[in-house]
Structure 1
Amino acid sequence: MDDRIIDPSALSNESHVEPEDAQESREVKAQEALLHDVDPSLVDADRVATALDVDPRTGLSAAEAKRRLEKFGPNELASAPPVPKWKKFLQQFQDPLVYLLLAATAISLVAWIIEKVNAAPGAEGGEVLPFDAIVIVLILIVNAILGYMQEAKAEEAVNALSEMTAPTSNVLRDGRVERINTTDIVPGDILVLGEGDTVPADGRLLAAASLRIAEASLTGESVPVSKRPATLETAKALGDRANMVFNGTSVTQGTGRAIVTGTGMNTQVGKIADLLQSTDDEATPLQKEMNHVSKILGIAVCIIAVVVLLALAILEGFHSVHDVIDSLLLAVSLAVAAVPEGLAAILTVVLALGVQRMAAHHAIVKKLHSVETLGSASVICSDKTGTLTRNEMTVERIVVPSGEVELTGSGYAPEGDMVSLDGAAVPEDIANEVLATLGAGLLANDGELREGDKPGTWEVVGDPTEVSLVVAARKTHADKKYEHFQRVAEIPFTSERKRMSVIARNATDAGKLTVFAKGAPDVLLSYCDRIYVNGAVRKLTEGDRQDILATVERLSREAYRTLGEAYRPLDTDSLAQIPGIRTNSTGEIPDISEQADVIEAHLIWNGMVGIIDPPRTEVRDAVSEAHRAGIRTVMITGDHPLTAARIASDLGIIAKDGKALTGDELDAMDEPQLDKATSEVSVYARVAPEHKLKIVESLQRQGNIVAMTGDGVNDAPAVKAADIGVAMGITGTEVTKQSAKMILADDNFSTIVAAVREGRGIFDNIRKFLRYLLSSNVGEVFTVFFGVVFAGWLGIKNPASVGVTVPLLATQLLWINLLTDAAPALAMGVDPMTEDVMDRKPRKLTDRVIDGAMWGDIVYIGIIMAAVTLIGMDMHLSGGLFTDRSVSAMGHDAQMVEARTMGFTILVFAQLFNALASRSHLQSAFVGLFSNKWLWGAIGLSVVLQLFVIYVPFLNTAFGTTPLPPMAWLECIGLAFFVLLASEIRKIFLRMRAKK
């Protein structure tokens, strides 16, 4: 293929010759003509294919598709340009707390300037540099860097998930149907459309079989539109272009192929897209609650600050500008102490990391906040095929009018033999009937079996049940016997029809047409009036019908899924000449699927196959684990009730004598009866997709949090309505995947239970670091508040001085938050799950993340933390409740520096001990003490950084610290340990009360 994509003359009715360079120069104009100016619905499909230089039988080559992708760009709508990195960094400063800290910086700077100006000539004039202001600015910058890095990590995780959940589409390339990312589709690609697919680009239909497409998203038409490839005679509105398919619409029925004429912004959707519109990510429920908590803390701190300032003004008065500045710095210190600056970023990172872990285990959660809901699931409604079972459908039994045979071999490898149930050779008449049955199943089939890249491996394309029929035909060589039949028309399978029919041309019999059909035996049997037995066709009697139905019931009890096969010779080589077929004025058939009543009448019964899909061995354990966690498992299937009950009992969903409820029985119930039934019954059989929605809504009315799996397009309403919609990653349609909150990459029920377990673990970890962060920050607030209120008693205030003396500096509080908030909290966010995570009942969505018990922990630990900090400071100050032997020789200013260093260090260590205590509300911190290596690494890092602040001279000046003697370290660690000890004592009492 040369570099020209479009022949300029291809769209014209005139033939002319022009030089090669002239053709090359007009290439872009020709592309624009077809892709923008010319309405493809008015152009013959073959001419469109010629213009786009593609063979509809083979599609584009991989190399040509790559070239076109480079030329036309990805198949996606334009979006707002990405936010530059420097803007993202500056956004870290767009926070009310940061504004408050900047105000504190300004106040500190003003105080330093006033001190320098008012200094007497020749005097030192206080600090050489405004260290407070410098340190606050530096810490703000470090905080911004950490926040930026955390958000970048979360964004990277979300982008990775987006790649995993990127929509895919079937296209014909190099003569093979391949599933590729929708963004890689280019003009000229041949789309292969099936029920449940989302149309990925605008295209001109080449072929259609009962194709109906929902175009409400584009045209507003609520009823799906029938599509056919015939060229339109006049231009029509979008909704009436029956030979076109449009990006973003969805296939509700049938199959079709279309040649792509527009991608990305060149589609109809692209033309009407608002390129400037941008939407902000909705805050998760956790983030909303955290914002609420931060506001409560902020309001509380403001009230405390106002009360303290008023008390100081009344009791002591403000005698100078310095007193006012010191009071304002006190208010700022309280605010800094109250609010954990990195909470939102830590929360996002922990959720993103958790969701990434789920994705590694085949559970792709599309929205971070869905993790919350996962941990609350109380009912899991699951399909049977592929989710509870292996989805390795295997034809094991074939029942024909003359007898029954078994087919050996399992899985999709076409290796096996036809044998009698008693082990004897299969008689010729039975063998012929078996071949006729499998031949019908092979032709009425959209499945495909391909040999994999490695020898002995097989690749399944399409529905596994259909592929099992292909495998059975290959095992018995029925595929060779029926290879001269070529399919010319199709009436596709739908969940309502429960059958599929094709019309095939017999190349060895003057092109005569034959109908081949397969479907649910009880349904297909109602369209049969004859039977093929002993090499001849005779009338189907009522006795025959009863025998066939009895066999269906027997096989169903043995857990086989049954499919009936039938056929009918049409004795004509023209579709239009089939007796009863309706044609239009030009002799064409409008839509073959609309005439199923004619085509599927008077069928001849061949026989039926028994298909087994063995339960997954790991599912029984998963069901048991779900039951232990208070989660009920409900199986919903279109299979026979006896088959459903047998599989469900094998998996432990119901007892051995349990029964299944059918769709017909559901239809006969009113709402109260339905609610009573769904509260008791856990297996539903022979249900249509609309019954799934009924079941979900009924369970939700009873207060359940429902997870619902689905794969087909008609499952989408139930999946969307469920609290946790789960789409199948392998067999699921794009419409269902878009409606779901979670995608199972392996279509395995065990993955759902594993995701629930992971969701509970993530939620537990979020509560752990919230307990830790909030109790630590409340401890800082109490330290500042009580340190100011009781400054005289504790020896913090110099009796000879006036104004406010704060126990800890604002820079020290900022350092504590920087040091102990980020690393330990993140480490707690990846804490290993506790053993009892699936031994608890599901959490209700109405339960608060921070409940009364947690607030009790927070306040209790905060008080203990403040108490040990202030006691440690008092021990190094004269005139307090305690007097240390080392303070008598020092002046008050030196004592205060040492006391602040003690309080500063005690508070850091107290929060590190609190990190160990906060891992559980009830369980001792010494259980699994070393199970989280990341937490110990964070603690070690914090200790090392604290040593730098205490022993590096320039950091002493910046943070108002002084080196501590060895004995002081024993005091710091001993007092800080009281936080862990007090927590353990409280947990003992709580455990005792819980047992009672």
Structure 2
Amino acid sequence: MVDRNDQTDVSEATKAQEALLHDVDPSLTDANDVAKALNVDPATGLSSDEAKRRLEKFGPNELASAPPVPKWKKFLAQFEDPLVYLLLAATVISTIAWFVERMNAAPGSEGGEPLPFDSIVIVLILIVNAVLGYIQEARAEQAVAALAQMTAPQTSVLRDGQVVRVNTSEVVPGDIVVLGEGDTVSADGRLLTAASLRIAEASLTGESVPVGKKPETLESAKALGDRANMVFNGTSVTQGTGRAVVTGTGMNTQVGKIADMLSQTEDEATPLQKELAHVSKILGIAVCIIAALVIVALFITEGFTGIEDVIDSLLLAVSLAVAAVPEGLAAIMTVVLALGVQRMAKHHAIVKKLSSVETLGSASVICSDKTGTLTRNEMTVERVVTPSGEVSITGTGYAPVGQMVGVDGSDVSEAVRAEVLSTLVAGTLANDGDLRENNGKWEIVGDPTEVSLIVAARKTKADKATERFTRVAEVPFTSERKRMSIIAKDNTEGGNLTVFAKGAPDVLLSFCSRIAVGNQVRPLTDGDRQDILADVERLSGEAYRTLGEAYRPLETASLAAVPGIRANAAGEVSDIAEQSDVIENDLIWTGMVGIIDPPRTEVRDSVAEARRAGIRTVMITGDHPLTAARIASDLGIIAKDGKALTGDQLDALTTDEEFDKATSEVSVYARVAPEHKLKIVSSLQRQGNIAAMTGDGVNDAPAVKTADIGVAMGITGTEVTKESAKMILADDNFSTIVAAVREGRGIFDNIRKFLRYLLSSNVGEVFTVFGGVMLAGVLGITQPESTGVTLPLLATQLLWINLLTDAAPALAMGVDPQTEDVMNRKPRKLTDHVIDRDMWIDIAFIGIIMAAVTLIGMDMHLAGGLFTDRSVDALGHEAQLTEARTMGFTILVFAQLFNAIASRSSRQSAFVGLFSNKWLWGAIALSVVLQLLVIYVPFLNGPFGTTPLSPLAWVECICLAAFVLIASEIYKAIMRAIDKARGKELSH
């Protein structure tokens, strides 16, 4: 995006762009004159150097955005939280308490602490928390920005005479953009050429029907929706091809003018973030209620004798609130999701939004196209069937190395050879693909199926016969027509025209009335049709994709002279695609090819892994049913005798109930149209499934967008589909989807791990404060000759615990390695709570144990306690309370560190893979060092209310804290036994 702070530069660039066209409306100017005004040759495009110069001059082809939030505002935003407001209130209360104490001090006494250490420490910790939150959010933004760069849209442009792909942001005025079906128009431009070009402009004009585009100059100024010779930024090509010279980029486009009026929208919170916010709110309300009840109880039982008692009670309430909610939870969540998304990107799965990670782990159905996703997308013509025989074409892949041989390896007769060459000539001419050699490697341009015909023609030298033809018109392939036709001029025989067509054999055959046998052409009989259709069934049963080829000499050099063709007064024909019924009839059948796209070897294992994970794989393809069933059975999607359901059979299902029953039982769909994909996805969703849907073509976009997890192909996918998708496969591989689901489940598991850890630790703090106040008399947590509340732990100590144990260990748990059983569980439902009933029980249990061992440790160092009758030493009650608080403080820190080890699984023993997460152990070591500093560095003793501990005290601390891990292990063993018993009951 362009910063609006740079509006001056944008304005200057806009004026420069307008100056290039001399303020002339491009739609009213001849296309060549527009190109001349922009100083570009339509045949070669801009040079790379000139494009760089214009990019520097005009700036990137991006819309202006709101100015970025200054860093200082982002930092202050860290304080915009109700919990922070509570802490600031605690600071004020603590400062007042210190001031009152100083004022009421007896003359000549020290008057308490020289500085309000509690207030100072609270402020310092708030600042440290804000710094950590700021750094974490900055890292998350960087991760998302890196992903945005990976998914940056690209545009085909003509540079240095070659069609190349560049980032859309690098398109400049004067560029020649090359448009094809599924492309998103990246800038405003004047059409130079167009072949059956139709563009959906609803996003700009509101016109729901795609608009036909033609390069002819308009005679008068038209409204935006009627400028048929212009293309506009943000619209999408639904049919045909074309080229346009860019007349405006960035804010100097029609959509740019609209964008200037739009305000920046805020990112919506993810469902997971909303649930966590709800949990925090419930915890906060619960703690406030507990605090209020405690204060009322203390007032009734002990009464308040002075302002100090009131202040102490308020500090107690704030301490409970501080203990309840993990301050860094939101930031930790964002960072963990961002890191997970980055890991997915390294494995070729580019997730466009962090919120999609939540959905990935819940996928229960993966609907996948066949070609290129389940297979290698290296289409190879292996068979050619003609009226006189059948041959094999040797060689695989796109290298044109191979030859024509009989199916049994024998020599091929001249008659069959002639028919094969004729068939491959028709398939090569009715073709938009291209094959290029780049540094010794063969690269394809266009559809792999079309390129396979070109490769076969080069293997058999049939390509030599295509050199004498020049294409003059085209009726493009669409998923509805299932065929393509071109009209070519024969440059060696008086320039006569010939129609060449290819398409699905059963479809193309219906437009044929003749058949070429040897050197003769005769009428096509019913027997011929039955034989051809039988060959289609046979080849399809052998997993071949079949394409039929046909031709028809027009016996004229003028397209306008063809009987039935509509032409204008000048004899020009500009709408041939709309007259396909005239030229696509009385065709001569030459033969058909059998093309195979071998399955990816790794996909079978991925399908099996998905099945173990409770995820069903569904194949949806436009191929023949037998081909689809064969590939699906080879990959383990269906059994060997499994069948495919066709689009026609789906259309016969008239009710939702019938459709849902079919989709619940059938996993392979063949000969389907784009609308069928949408209906299949919707049906699966009605049944409660979380559906992933792959797509590449523009017609797949509605189904991809409707699916819970829309997946676009990164290599073959159109820009429209990529924009509609939530995830992009950089390698177009089905296995990458399964790997992404595995990663998504691992991320979600890790989120539950650190939630269990954080919440149980904070609940332990709440129980410690609550129990220490309510049981103060029993435990000896009192100060003789004083009234009011004696807090078991200071607010600064609780803040330090949260700072120490929340950030580093929780982040380390967020990158915990996946467990072995991550893909052996059924998918979770999106309606399932992240923190379920069992997890709440676990949290409460650990919290109670944590509070109990902390209070026991304090009691052991206090006079008049439950577990010891220790006498008051020479240092007095105050020193003894400080030592007891240091014990409780340290026990609670170490208990939470033991809890971090225990929380890595709700069922599995902590000792399984104990040292597999080096980051967690690093975080624990850091926390231990920092805790030692607070205890043994003298100038920190005052602010944190600590005192050095003896070696024996350390033994007590470690043993008591370790009981959290021991109790957790016992609890897990019991739960594993219960789960096993439940399993036995279910099996019976």
TM-score scaled by length of structure 1? 0.96
Partner of 1:625: 609
Q: Assess if the C-alpha contact under 8 Å between 1:190 and 1:260 holds in 2.
A: yes
Q: 1:909 aligns with which of 894, 897, 901?
A: 894
Quote the Cα distance in structure 2 between the aligned partners of 1:601 and 1:315: 101
The answer to whether the aligner puts 1:467 opposite 2:451 as a matched pair is yes
Q: 2:662 aligns with which of 646, 653, 677?
A: 677
Quote the Cα distance in structure 1 between the aligned partners of 2:607 and 2:42: 48
Q: 2:841 aligns with which of 852, 856, 871?
A: 856
TM-superposed deviation, 1:420: 1.6
User: The residue matched to 2:268 in structure 1 has which SS?
Assistant: coil
TM-superposed deviation, 1:584: 3.1
Partner of 1:357: 343
The letter for the 2-side match of 1:524 is L
Q: 1:893 aligns with which of 878, 898, 915?
A: 878
Q: Could you report, residue by residue, the CA deviation over 1:206-257 in whole angstroms, capped at 9, with x for unpaired residues? A: 1111111111111111111111111110111111111111111111111111
Go from structure 1 to structure 2 and tell me whether the alpha carbon gap of 1:108 and 1:931 turns closer, same or farther (over 3 Å shift): same
Q: Assess if the C-alpha contact under 8 Å between 2:550 and 2:587 holds in 1.
A: yes
The answer to whether the aligner puts 1:802 opposite 2:787 as a matched pair is yes
Partner of 1:791: 776
Quote the Cα distance in structure 1 between the aligned partners of 2:571 and 2:172: 36
Q: Could you report, residue by residue, the CA deviation over 1:940-968 in whole angstroms, capped at 9, with x for unpaired residues? A: 11111111111111111121101101111
TM-superposed deviation, 1:30: 7.5
Quote the Cα distance in structure 1 between the aligned partners of 2:571 and 2:490: 23
Quote the Cα distance in structure 2 between the aligned partners of 1:886 and 1:729: 75
User: The residue matched to 2:878 in structure 1 has which SS?
Assistant: helix
The answer to whether the aligner puts 1:340 opposite 2:326 as a matched pair is yes
More divergent stretch after superposition (293-302 vs 325-334): 325-334
More divergent stretch after superposition (222-231 vs 433-442): 433-442
The answer to whether the aligner puts 1:940 opposite 2:921 as a matched pair is no
TM-superposed deviation, 1:34: 5.3
Q: Assess if the C-alpha contact under 8 Å between 1:415 and 1:475 holds in 2.
A: yes
Quote the Cα distance in structure 1 between the aligned partners of 2:939 and 2:65: 49
Q: 1:145 aligns with which of 131, 136, 141?
A: 131
Q: 1:305 aligns with which of 291, 298, 302?
A: 291
Go from structure 1 to structure 2 and tell me whether the alpha carbon gap of 1:53 and 1:36 turns closer, same or farther (over 3 Å shift): closer
Quote the Cα distance in structure 1 between the aligned partners of 2:94 and 2:130: 21
Go from structure 1 to structure 2 and tell me whether the alpha carbon gap of 1:466 and 1:884 turns closer, same or farther (over 3 Å shift): farther
The answer to whether the aligner puts 1:636 opposite 2:620 as a matched pair is yes
TM-superposed deviation, 1:470: 1.5
User: The residue matched to 2:449 in structure 1 has which SS?
Assistant: helix
The answer to whether the aligner puts 1:510 opposite 2:494 as a matched pair is yes
Q: 1:925 aligns with which of 882, 888, 910?
A: 910
The answer to whether the aligner puts 1:224 opposite 2:210 as a matched pair is yes
TM-superposed deviation, 1:769: 0.5
| Counterparts of residues 6-25 of structure 1 (less than 5 Å) | none
Q: Assess if the C-alpha contact under 8 Å between 1:79 and 1:275 holds in 2.
A: no
Partner of 1:551: 535
Q: Assess if the C-alpha contact under 8 Å between 1:775 and 1:859 holds in 2.
A: yes
Q: 1:488 aligns with which of 472, 478, 481?
A: 472
Go from structure 1 to structure 2 and tell me whether the alpha carbon gap of 1:544 and 1:82 turns closer, same or farther (over 3 Å shift): same
Partner of 1:10: none
The letter for the 2-side match of 1:655 is A
TM-superposed deviation, 1:486: 1.6
The letter for the 2-side match of 1:652 is G
More divergent stretch after superposition (744-753 vs 480-489): 480-489
TM-superposed deviation, 1:887: 5.2
Quote the Cα distance in structure 1 between the aligned partners of 2:99 and 2:129: 26
Q: Assess if the C-alpha contact under 8 Å between 1:876 and 1:884 holds in 2.
A: no
| Counterparts of residues 273-288 of structure 1 (less than 5 Å) | 273-275=259-261, 277-288=263-274
The answer to whether the aligner puts 1:655 opposite 2:639 as a matched pair is yes
The letter for the 2-side match of 1:423 is G
Q: Could you report, residue by residue, the CA deviation over 1:642-695 in whole angstroms, capped at 9, with x for unpaired residues? A: 111111110111111111110000001122211111111111111111111111
More divergent stretch after superposition (32-41 vs 870-879): 32-41
Q: Could you report, residue by residue, the CA deviation over 1:682-712 in whole angstroms, capped at 9, with x for unpaired residues? A: 1111111111111111111111111111111
Quote the Cα distance in structure 1 between the aligned partners of 2:90 and 2:281: 20
The answer to whether the aligner puts 1:667 opposite 2:651 as a matched pair is yes
Q: Assess if the C-alpha contact under 8 Å between 2:14 and 2:252 holds in 1.
A: no
Quote the Cα distance in structure 2 between the aligned partners of 1:416 and 1:375: 46
Q: Assess if the C-alpha contact under 8 Å between 2:864 and 2:870 holds in 1.
A: no
| Counterparts of residues 679-828 of structure 1 (less than 5 Å) | 679-828=664-813
Q: 2:547 aligns with which of 563, 578, 584?
A: 563
User: The residue matched to 2:65 in structure 1 has which SS?
Assistant: coil
More divergent stretch after superposition (861-870 vs 127-136): 127-136
Q: 1:86 aligns with which of 72, 87, 92?
A: 72
Q: Could you report, residue by residue, the CA deviation over 1:924-947 in whole angstroms, capped at 9, with x for unpaired residues? A: 111111111111111111111111
More divergent stretch after superposition (590-599 vs 474-483): 474-483
Quote the Cα distance in structure 2 between the aligned partners of 1:615 and 1:703: 30
User: The residue matched to 1:59 in structure 2 has which SS?
Assistant: coil
The answer to whether the aligner puts 1:270 opposite 2:225 as a matched pair is no
The answer to whether the aligner puts 1:176 opposite 2:139 as a matched pair is no
| Counterparts of residues 197-208 of structure 1 (less than 5 Å) | 197-208=183-194
More divergent stretch after superposition (336-345 vs 360-369): 360-369
Q: Assess if the C-alpha contact under 8 Å between 2:483 and 2:504 holds in 1.
A: yes
TM-superposed deviation, 1:118: 2.9
Partner of 1:597: 581
Give identity over the alignment, percent.
Answer: 81
The aligned length equals 969
Quote the Cα distance in structure 2 between the aligned partners of 1:724 and 1:704: 11
Partner of 2:5: none
More divergent stretch after superposition (478-487 vs 644-653): 478-487
Quote the Cα distance in structure 2 between the aligned partners of 1:549 and 1:376: 43
TM-superposed deviation, 1:322: 1.7
Q: 1:438 aligns with which of 424, 436, 439?
A: 424
Quote the Cα distance in structure 1 between the aligned partners of 2:16 and 2:57: 14
Q: Assess if the C-alpha contact under 8 Å between 1:198 and 1:734 holds in 2.
A: yes
Go from structure 1 to structure 2 and tell me whether the alpha carbon gap of 1:962 and 1:36 turns closer, same or farther (over 3 Å shift): farther
TM-score scaled by length of structure 2? 0.96
Q: Could you report, residue by residue, the CA deviation over 1:486-544 in whole angstroms, capped at 9, with x for unpaired residues? A: 21211111000001111122222232222111111111111111222212322222222
Quote the Cα distance in structure 2 between the aligned partners of 1:512 and 1:54: 35
The answer to whether the aligner puts 1:259 opposite 2:259 as a matched pair is no
The answer to whether the aligner puts 1:117 opposite 2:128 as a matched pair is no
Q: Which runs of 5+ in 1 are unaligned?
A: 1-25
TM-superposed deviation, 1:173: 1.3
User: The residue matched to 1:311 in structure 2 has which SS?
Assistant: helix
Q: 2:178 aligns with which of 177, 186, 192?
A: 192
User: The residue matched to 1:294 in structure 2 has which SS?
Assistant: helix
The letter for the 2-side match of 1:567 is Y
TM-superposed deviation, 1:113: 2.2
The answer to whether the aligner puts 1:458 opposite 2:442 as a matched pair is yes
The letter for the 1-side match of 2:124 is L
Q: Assess if the C-alpha contact under 8 Å between 2:863 and 2:871 holds in 1.
A: no
Quote the Cα distance in structure 2 between the aligned partners of 1:275 and 1:821: 43
The letter for the 2-side match of 1:311 is A
Quote the Cα distance in structure 2 between the aligned partners of 1:128 and 1:450: 82
Partner of 1:167: 153
The answer to whether the aligner puts 1:836 opposite 2:803 as a matched pair is no
Quote the Cα distance in structure 2 between the aligned partners of 1:672 and 1:792: 68
Q: Could you report, residue by residue, the CA deviation over 1:799-837 in whole angstroms, capped at 9, with x for unpaired residues? A: 311121100011100000000000110111111111111
TM-superposed deviation, 1:385: 0.4
TM-superposed deviation, 1:401: 1.8
Q: Which runs of 5+ in 2 are unaligned?
A: 1-11, 982-988
Q: 1:249 aligns with which of 218, 223, 235?
A: 235
Quote the Cα distance in structure 2 between the aligned partners of 1:520 and 1:149: 58
Q: 1:519 aligns with which of 488, 497, 503?
A: 503
TM-superposed deviation, 1:427: 2.2
